[in-house]
Amino acid sequence: MRQNDGMTLIVKTVTRISVWMILLYGIYIIFHGHLSPGGGFAGGVIIALAFLNVMLAYGRKFTSDWLNISFLHDVEAASATLFLIIGILGISIGGSFLANFLMKGELFALISSGTILPLNIVIGIKVGMSLFLVVWVLAGSKTVKGE
């Protein structure tokens, strides 16, 4: 499959530099979800777009070497479970499901707002992995993992 081996050298070089900045921006958006506009969903989409950038520029084979696709699958399923675990911890510590049981902290500080920050991180991982995997499967349904 010659045409699936990615784009020209210029695109590959730019991608090699820019993909880390895109990932960093996604992580920033996730971690500042409780302070500024954004949050888990927006940051997760940015992370998925960064992976998608690599897939479009370098092709499927390089991407499946670079990222362990079945590991991404496990992370994606585990983050959904993690959300549930945080909710159940809310029952046992805070008294009700998804209760905010951690320290509230100071307003406008990075480490503040109790469980909102961990829930944002979990949702960001979940959304990023899910959207990337959906595109991964849709783009090349010939080689589906897990058969």
Partner 1 sequence: MPVEPWLIFILSVMIIASIAALEMEDILSSIVAIGVVGLGVSLSFLFLQAPDLAIVQFLFEIFAVIILVRAFLKKDYHKEKPSTINKILAGVTVITLAAIFIFSISVFELLPPFGEPLMTTAQYYLDNGAKDTGAANLVSSIVLDYRAYDTLGEVTVLFAAILGTFTILRIKSKSKKEKTELDHAAK
Residues contributing to the site for partner 1 (CB under 8 A)? 29, 33-42, 45-46, 48-49, 52, 56, 76-77, 80, 83-84, 87, 97-98, 100, 104-108, 112-116, 119-120, 123, 126-127, 130-131, 133-135, 137-139, 141-144, 146-147
| Least gap, CB of 86 to partner 1 (angstroms) | 9
What CA–CA distance (Å, rounded) separates 48 from 135? 9
Q: Yes or no: say if 101 and 114 are a contact pair by the CB < 8 Å rule.
A: yes
Report, in Å, the least distance between residue 8 CB and partner 1. 17
User: What is the rounded distance in angstroms from the CA atom of residue 112 to the CA atom of residue 109?
Assistant: 6
Closest CA to 82 of 118, 117, 114, 132: 118
Closest CA to 128 of 59, 60, 58, 73: 73
Taking the least distance from each CB to partner 1, the nearer of 13 and 70 is: 70
Closest CA to 43 of 59, 60, 28, 58: 28
The nearer residue to partner 1, 11 or 35, going by C-beta atoms, is 35
